[in-house]
Amino acid sequence: MKTVRKYGWIAFFLALPFSLLAKHASSTRSGAAAGPGNSIISGAATGAWNKALALQGDSLYGALDLQQEGLSKKAFQYAWKGYCILRHRRQLDNPGVLTICDFSQSSAKKRLYIIDLQQGVLLLRTYVAHGRNSGREFATRFSNKPQSHQSSLGFYITSNTYVGEHGLSLRIAGVERGFNDKALARNIVVHGAHYAAEDFMETNKVCGRSYGCPAVPDIESEEVIETIKNGSCLFIYHPTPKYIQQSRILNGKGA
């Protein structure tokens, strides 16, 4: 994997949001556990926590040179916030890795980013396909419905691997009700595909499309899957107003 930037001190940031929440725990209602998205916390505590996350996100985004790598700042900030919430809830068995799929970009771009948060390393940036009914070069339509052949936005937690018709594949569980919680039932998985590879795009100009799965180049699929499997955070982003405004994770209301 290609190391773009490495900052060992980034691991220090990971504890800060949780320390800040603990500091404001006394402002919660009696008996409620402090934390974003799964408790009632004071407006001051929520504001302080969001401010801390934004500052950390800015620092990480700059340190990893993600703007130069083509990842939008909004996509990273949202991914960072959701990751911190899921980690605080202890839903991530593999919290050292954050994967971001930026569907605001053209499918001709390398728009999948795998970040090692413990070491402060952008491990890999590669191509990723969107669903065939989500759009051609750009994904503009998204659905949680079976047989829609569209991609689903939001936060996922990676699960176990299996070998199927696409070879080694990775199940992903959507954790946002109404947006991606039917991913397992729809058989939405990470898998390799020839139509996501660079040589395919040399002829077709853009990435091919899947039935809704975030398919990656077959030559890199094993590396991607082995890196992010078993409980890491995957965020599929697009600036669709409905998702941004109604995501219970992004808006601190739970899944």
What predicted TM-score, i.e. pTM, was given to this entire model? 0.87
Question: For residue 176, which of 243, 78, 91 has the smallest C-alpha distance?
Answer: 243
Domain layout of the chain by residue ranges: 10-246
For 132-199, give the DSSP string.
Answer: TTS-SSS---B--STT---B--EEEEEEEEEEETTEEEEEEEE-STTTTTTTTTTT-EEEEEGGGSHH
Query: By percentage, how much of the chain surpasses pLDDT 70?
Result: 81
Q: Cα–chain-centroid distance for residue 60? A: 15
For 88-108, give the DSSP string.
Answer: HTT--SSTTEEEEEETTS-TT
Which residues does residue 237 pair with via DSSP β-bridges, in sequence order? 102
Q: What phi, psi does 20 have (nearest 5°)?
A: -65, -40
Q: Which residue has the higher pLDDT, 246 or 20?
A: 246
Angstrom distance (rounded) from CA 188 to CA 46: 34
110 token code pair: 């390398």
Three-class secondary structure of residue 253 per DSSP: coil
| pLDDT one-digit tens code per residue, 137-189 | 999 999 999 999 999 999 999 999 999 999 999 999 999 999 999 999 999 99
Domain 10-246 part of CATH 2.40.440.10: yes
What lies within 8 Å, CB to CB, of 50 at 6+ separation is 81
| pLDDT one-digit tens code per residue, 63-114 | 999 999 999 999 999 999 999 999 999 999 999 999 999 999 999 999 999 9
